[in-house]
Amino acid sequence: MNKLEKVKTFIHNQTGAVRNIEIIEPYDASSDNEKTGELLNVCAYCRVSTPDESQKTSHDFQLAEFEEYIKSNPKWKFCGVYSDKGKTGTSKTKRTGFLKMLADCKAGKIDLVVVKSVSRFARNTEDFLFTLRELKNLKSPVGVFFKVEHLNSLSARDEVILTVLATFAQEESHIKSEAMNWSLDHRFANGRYLVSKVFGYSKKKGPFEPLVINEAEAKIVRLCYALFVSGRSSSEVAATLNNLGLKSKKGKLCWSASTVVNLMQNEKYCGDLLVRKTWTPDYLTHRSIKNKGKNRRKKQYYETDHHDAIVPRLVHRAALNLIESHRQGARQHNNPCLSVVDSGALKGFVSVNRSYAGFTAEDYIIASGSAYTEKEEESLYKDYDIEIKKDSVSVFDFSGYSSVSLLLFDQSRKAACTITGKSFTFNSACSKKLNTDYIEILVHPVEKILAIRPCSNDTTGAVKWRKTKSTTTFGTVCFTDALFDILGWNAKLKFRASGVVRTKDNESIILFDLSNVLIIKNDAGALPEKFASSYGNPYYENLTACQLHRIDIQGLWKVLAKSEPSETHVGQILEITEFCNSSLQEFELGETINGQ
């Protein structure tokens, strides 16, 4: 008795009557999506992960193998092979061959896709399952047959197994990614870097081949630097390059301000190499981010003098400093020189440059030291007691006494300066004491003293002064990084320094002791730690604060002595000037730097 007869007998026994019922068998989609009496439109998909020459052979072999495999089945019609070379399987967004295959499936051109294995189709579980279900839910379902695993996506049983295998394929990609990162760290730590080709250099094929200067392109690189550090903006540099008909690496006249800035920020041009500038946080999306600042999660490797330089290191640094100054809103367009006072009560004080972010704490210290003899400079770094003749101060002996710090008193009527990471604010008491239109701000980086004095408007670094009862604020973002570094201050806090005024012959200056400041956080002030056990400094020590003994006891004055360019920085400027002039002359541009 066949199956149909058995059903009829069962119904008859249950109902007592014979009913004419026809049983329709379900469509068997697991047998290669077979169409009765028609050939299946079958294509293949193959993928190789890298564009290497060795992978090209594998790719070509797969194409031939798939074509032969499909054509050998009499029920299949060969519809071509879709392929991607050098594409990862963790994402489908950039796999043009894969996307074209999906589009043809949706257009009804394909009935079955043959793939070598699960990992060749996708290494992202989400993409894998979404694509299979998308194809399965089409009006005319499209199956995917995995040759190695011998599984068909239209089979409910096979779908469960495919899900597990796709998860393994994704995890395998993750493990490979971690292994690759370890391998790169090992290579980089041993000085084997993956160096890419860059404008200005030639390079043989191979990741470890050295960079060799391409003189034709190097001339253009030097011109970029020369124009920029001699006062041209990045937009003007780009316009000059385009007007001269100078082409980029790709042979196009496409210079822009951002292109010029990016070129000059590349450390390779001064002979150095920084490796791992970017990193990929997600091995599935492969989206890279810059490996710097708070996003620096991977080790970086920096090698000095890795290859021949196109521009001197001094010129490269000068360009970087100007770029940083422009980012902070400064108007400085060429490389300035620090100036230092070499005589009088303010000997060793350096004029503050508020418009240039390139000067470091070390630069200010070196400039200050240039005002002293070798013996005088050595004494600045020693902890020593300045000998003061007691009888020259008073008939009384104040040994053992302390001078109470001004920080313990109301500062509203006393000269004071509030310093933040972005500005200096002088209170109204300072404004009343200096009857001038312009002032010069100076700092002694070793003695840790800030000073302001009158000056003319043509003085380098002169700032407009308010002769009113209100406070005066100056933006100093280009200088405060160096100042906070000198003092070891936290940039997130405010600091208030008391000022001491000295006047002689109708000339006034205000000095601020930066080693004794009130620390301000959330509008609340905190005294320096030393005031936990005292109310101030010993009396005779206090006389030396802000170098006041030089004025009050030694009788020095000349507080308006002009600040002169530091010899160290003058030498640097001359070196930069020589480079710029020679680079500009290569293109018959008779320009000079700083008017020299």
**Tell me: the pLDDT tens digits for 397-444?**
656 666 666 666 666 678 899 999 889 999 988 988 888 999 999 999
Across 91-116, average pLDDT: 89
Q: Which long-range contacts (CB under 8 A, 24 or more apart) does 185-190 make?
A: 185/299, 188/275, 188/276, 188/299, 188/301, 189/301
What pLDDT digit, counting tens, does each position of 484-521 carry?
999 999 888 899 888 889 898 889 999 998 988 888 87
Query: Which pLDDT does position 238 carry in this prediction?
Result: 92
The more confident residue out of 11 and 310 is 310
CB-based contact 279:288 (threshold 8 Å) = yes
Q: Where are the domains of the chain?
A: 40-173, 191-271+306-335+566-596, 339-565
pLDDT bin (cut points 50, 70, 90) of residue 596 is very low
Burial (CB count within 10 angstroms: exposed 0-12, middle 13-18, buried 19+), residue 557: middle
Pairing of strands 40-48, 76-85: parallel
DSSP string of 315-327, one letter each residue: HHHHHHHHHHHHH
Whether 540 has a pLDDT exceeding 60, the answer reads: no
pLDDT recorded at residue 333: 63
pLDDT tens sequence across 309-324: 999 999 999 999 888 8
| pLDDT tens, position by position, 205-261 | 776 778 899 999 999 999 999 999 988 889 999 999 999 999 887 777 789 999 999
DSSP state of 392: G
Q: How many residues does the chain have?
A: 596
How confident is the model at residue 149, as a pLDDT?
85
pLDDT on residue 35? 46
Q: What is the pLDDT of residue 176?
A: 65
Q: Which of 480, 486, 499 is nearest to 545 (CA)?
A: 499
Task: Give the CA distances from residue 529 to residues 10, 407, 537, in Å, rounded to whole numbers and listed in that order.
Answer: 99, 13, 13
Least confident of 43-47, 117-121, 377-381: 377-381
The strand pairing partners of 43, in sequence order, are 113
- Between 272 and 395, name the one with better pLDDT: 272
Q: Crossing angle of helices 215-229/313-327, nearest 10°?
A: 50
Helix (H, G, I), strand (E, B) or coil at 52: coil
Fold of domain 40-173 = Rossmann fold (3.40.50)
pLDDT bucket at 148, cuts 50 / 70 / 90: confident
Which pLDDT does position 340 carry in this prediction? 93
Q: Is the pLDDT of residue 17 over 80?
A: no
* Cα dihedral sign, 274-277-279-285: negative
List the alpha helices (DSSP H) in 140-198. 156-189
What does residue 517 show for φ and ψ, rounded to 5 degrees? -130, 155
* Residue 576 to residue 574: CA distance in whole angstroms: 5
User: Which tens digit of pLDDT belongs to each residue from 525-539?
Assistant: 566 666 556 666 665
CA-CA distances (angstroms) from residue 113 to 97, 102, 139, 159, 579? 13, 10, 16, 15, 64
Residue 85: is its pLDDT beyond 70?
A: yes
Which pLDDT value is given to residue 279? Answer: 58
Long-range CB pairs of 501-507, under 8 A, 24+ apart, other chains included: 501/415, 501/433, 502/548, 502/551, 502/552, 502/559, 504/551, 504/557, 504/559, 505/557, 507/454, 507/557, 507/559, 507/560
Neighbouring CB atoms inside 10 A of 506's CB total 7
pLDDT score, position 30: 43
**If pLDDT is split at 50, 70 and 90, which confidence band does 78 have?**
very high
User: Strand locations in 411-504, DSSP E?
Assistant: 416-419, 423-426, 438-444, 449-455, 463-464, 472-475, 494-504
Q: Which CATH class is domain 191-271+306-335+566-596?
A: alpha beta
CB 433 within 8 A of CB 415: yes
